Amino acid sequence: MTPPRRWVVTGASRGIGRAIAERALAAGDRVCLVARSEEIARDAALLGDQAMGVPADVKRRPDVERCCAAVAGAWGGIDVLVNSAGLHRGGKVGRVSDEDWGDCIATNMTGPLNLVRAALPHMNEGGAIVNVGAVVGFRGFAGDSCYGASKAGLSGLTNVLAVELARQRIRVNLVVPGFVMTEMTSGVSEKAREAIVAKVPLGRMGDADEIAEVCFWVAGSTYMTGSTVFTDGGLMCSL
């Protein structure tokens, strides 16, 4: 019998990150849920004995090093790292504050780098890293300079890591959700939502569970690395 995989999933308090954690748990794997909220430990306890929750800010390298060390100490190592934590700050380029720009880059690009550096000492051959990107990292949307730049950077980081870590037989891939109903997108106006959905060939928004299913599959795909997997209802085809 294949032993349960040991996952670290960031941004796991809600949305896509939470859905990924629950998908892995449903498969019998062990999952460390990571989020800034101190309540993540309590939330994880409600998910069963195979889950643990560690509060950590991905922008802070000591936080994520402590998190990965805790997982390795409890379960002996890390098999899958999912960088799902994300921060969106909008505004056209002339109005974007230095603080918003810095926070987006620190969370969406430096954060995954921090996690990779912290997890690698505890990962063995056959490990997988799944980064969660965004369509705006590949196509321009007015008012998304911070978010778009950070997600484009994450795409480049994914490619570099795939090459660097191949000798260690650790695979690194990018899953790119389309317009998915999460807390991050819930503030979009009805008019804007309809305009975006109108561009989606499948004619609807995505669901966090649908993205989680793809991330779960990518994490287990043994001959895939450096790939970008769009899960967007065909949105990229129509832009």
For the stretch 96-152, pLDDT in tens is 999 999 999 999 999 999 999 999 999 999 999 999 999 999 998 888 899 999 999
For residue 127, give the H/E element and its range: strand 123-132
Longest dimension (CA), the chain: 57
Active-site amino acid positions:
147
Task: Dump pLDDT digits (tens) for 34-47.
Answer: 999 999 999 999 99
Can you give the pLDDT at residue 137?
A: 94
The stretches in the chain having pLDDT less than 70 are 183-188
Give me the amino acid identity at 100. D
Q: Judge: domain 6-230, CATH 3.40.50.1000.
A: no
- Taken as a whole, the chain contains a residue count of 239
Please give the angle made by the CA atoms of 71, 84 and 146, to the nearest 5 degrees: 135
The angle, 0 to 180 degrees and rounded to 10, between the axes of the packed helices 111-119 and 61-75 is 40
Three-state SS for 79? strand
Q: Quickly count: other Cβ atoms within 10 Å of residue 164's Cβ.
A: 12
Q: Which two tokens stand for residue 33?
A: 């849920």
Domain ranges, ordered by start, for the chain: 6-230
Torsional sign, CA 40, 42, 48, 54 = positive
Radius of gyration of the CA atoms of the chain, in A: 17
pTM: predicted TM-score of the whole model, two decimal places: 0.95
Can you give the pLDDT at residue 196?
A: 86
CB-CB contact of 91 with 106 (8 Å) = no
Can you give the pLDDT at residue 209?
A: 97
208 CB-near residues (< 8 Å, 6+ apart): 15, 16, 18, 19, 180, 181, 182
